[in-house]
A and B are shown apart, each in its own frame.
Chain A
Amino acid sequence: MENNILVEVKNLKKYFPVKSGILSRKKNYLKAVDGLNLKIYKGETIGLVGESGCGKSTTGRLILRLLEPTEGKIFFDGKEITDLDKNKLKSMRKDFQMVFQDPYACLNPRLSIKSIIEEPLKTHKYRPSERKKTVKDLLEKVGIPKSYMDRYPHEFSGGQRQRIGIARALALNPKFIVADEPVAALDVSIQAQILNLMSDLQDEYNLTYLFIAHDLSVVQYISDRIGVMYLGSLVELSESQELFDYTIHPYTRALLSAIPIPDPEIEKRQINLEGEIPSPINPPDGCRFHTRCPYAEEICREKRPEFREVKKEHYVACHLAEKFINKQNTEIR
């Protein structure tokens, strides 16, 4: 199993300095990611869910070295990439790519589709003839007619632009793709098209995905395993069906019960969480979730729970995990 690991992240932290008052000398930090451990296996899709500000996008960008981690180590294909210098990093970038959320902002409006998809190939010094062929192949793969090659981004719809963004990410034949909310900005019928395209491409190119989203139903559809994040760290991680059927962490339960289900016949028992997510600048002591947790006990307020394997391949950060093990979910079905 160990040599099947493509990406490994150890105790990853990212603190952003925030300005406090003009006179105050004390520097505050926004703890976007605060001690995250994660292994991503070759060929799998791992979903990362959580509400806004939980650090899921930051995690994706840290793994791709688009942001510099404050602390922690990142390994890619067995090699540590945390401190790689610019040149080595540039050649490594071929292997890991990103698909962005906003199909409008992720394509330069002044470049033609051809130049956009060609850019990674140019940057990595591919021959012109090779570039041309690759661009044509990629367009075909993502379902954009080759004849549209010389058009500009504004001539395409949101879904088509997302396809172009995917083609660009695939151009260098990467092993690993971080998809940051790739369907959040798209309409329902288009969402399904992109999700299906992504899973087809995964089979064809043998890709590994880190799929970041806030929509649990989308994530569980595409992912083999799901990690749930809350205030900068993982609270639960397991195989996706297991996560849905035998949810352990109270936050995951609440999150699952909050998804509106497109079936009016289902009578759900909804767990309504009190209040809102605390600020990541001053996260609560102990378990980060204790301020909203309906089961919180004394220990939760005092000690931060470890992220541990409670069941086989089912990791949870909760002191009371044993209470919820093997309890089938009744809230959502």
Chain B
Amino acid sequence: MKEVVLEVKNLKTHFRTRKGIVKAVDGVSFKVHKGETFALVGESGCGKSVTCMTIMGLIGRKKNEVVEGDIFFKGRNITNISKEERRKLRGKNMSIIFQDPMTSLNPVYTVGTQIAEMPIIHEGKSQSKAKEIAVNMLKKVGIPSPDKRVDEYPHQFSGGMRQRGVIGMSLACNPELLIADEPTTALDVTIQAQILELLRKLKEDTESAIIMITHDLGVVAEVSDSVGVMYAGTLVEKALVKELFKKPLHPYTKGLLKSIPKPGSKERLTIIEGQPPDLHNAPKGCKFYPRCSYAMDKCREEMPKLIEIENGHKAACWLNEVNKNGK
């Protein structure tokens, strides 16, 4: 197995609000290896974005934000490092691509200046050297005539181009970890296909570890090596991508896979009844039990742990325990 770039152990991110504590992330653990694309998939409010913002250190500084657990970056615990050390890590060793390319670029600077900023700040490169890097970056992310476009402003780029620019910006310092937060959600299908292709290619070239946050199981299947499925702040299933799609173990994953229309099929969709719980007062036991058709008494009482069921395929469901014992 390759080097572990990121390890998250029992991460909890809670927000104190007037209505009580919101357990946005509640005990999440996973590892990401060098050159691996790990997808975090789940519906809105499941905590996938908050997990990554916490890893990046963008959450946890305010009074009402409570972070517990450990985050290891290449073996070093970075959970409680100083603001200054965080800043050094961000952009250089780990960077993030946001969903909306429109707001991640500053409209008053040229795209080139914004890409060059990273090497100047983090690597002390000279202006001219940094610009060279910017041109190379644009070339790498597939922007035609990069030496000209490097001096253009974000509004002169189209949506897809902008997202390429943002990707270029986040890769400028060759980070070991790249977090992509729904990078294609705001884009059209044909452009999405281009960007996914680009991310695949970049991963092969740079060997960066990528965490891909998405709600789209199609995107997961196309780009990732392994997947974590999140529900109401917890990881409910974790597996290699082929395993997950072939043999989903958690009822939520099963339901999710059955509820998406497949191209070329008109079979009536099986639905998961109800909706995700309000995180202010999530159910005591398994968070999925109110919507689960297999729910047992035990599910109401105790939260199942994420345990290995078969070679590397983990799930947090009492049902698997029952099946195992039954064998």
Chain A in direct contact with chain B (Cβ < 8 angstroms): yes
| B264 pairs with A244, CB closer than 8 A | yes
- CB under 8 Å from chain A, chain B span 248-294: 255-257, 259-266, 268-273, 275-276
A263, CB-defined interface residue at 8 Å: yes
- The answer, among A196, A244, A262, A277, for a CB contact under 8 Å with B218, is A262
- Chain A residue, CB-CB nearest to B159: A276
Size class of A's contact patch?
35 or more
| B264 pairs with A241, CB closer than 8 A | yes
The 0/1 profile, CB within 8 Å of B marked 1, for residues 191-221 of chain A is: 1110110000000000000000011111011
- The answer, among B245, B259, B265, for a CB contact under 8 Å with A188, is B259
| B261 pairs with A189, CB closer than 8 A | no
State in angstroms the CA–CA spacing of A241 and B261 once bound together: 14
A51, CB-defined interface residue at 8 Å: yes
Q: How far is the CB of B316 from chain A (nearest CB, A)?
A: 18
Known contacts A51-B190, A258-B189, A276-B158: A263-B245 contact under CB 8 Å: yes
- Chain A residue, CB-CB nearest to B220: A262
B188, CB-defined interface residue at 8 Å: yes
Residues of B within 8 A of A270 (CB): 193, 197
| A276 pairs with B161, CB closer than 8 A | yes
| A262 pairs with B246, CB closer than 8 A | no
B136, CB-defined interface residue at 8 Å: no
- CB under 8 Å from chain B, chain A span 283-322: none
A280, CB-defined interface residue at 8 Å: no
| B271 pairs with A259, CB closer than 8 A | no
Q: How far is the CB of B202 from chain A (nearest CB, A)?
A: 15
Known contacts A259-B218, A263-B221: A220-B261 contact under CB 8 Å: yes
Residues of A within 8 A of B268 (CB): 196
State in angstroms the CA–CA spacing of A187 and B214 once bound together: 11
Q: How far is the CB of A141 from chain B (nearest CB, A)?
A: 17
B301, CB-defined interface residue at 8 Å: no
- The answer, among A51, A188, A214, A333, for a CB contact under 8 Å with B264, is A333
Listed A/B pairs (11) with beta-carbon separation below 8 Å: A187-B215, A187-B276, A189-B259, A191-B260, A217-B218, A221-B266, A260-B216, A261-B222, A262-B217, A263-B221, A264-B245
Binding site for B on A (CB under 8 A): 51-52, 157, 159-160, 187-193, 195-196, 214-218, 220-221, 240-241, 244-245, 254-266, 270, 272-273, 276-277, 332-333
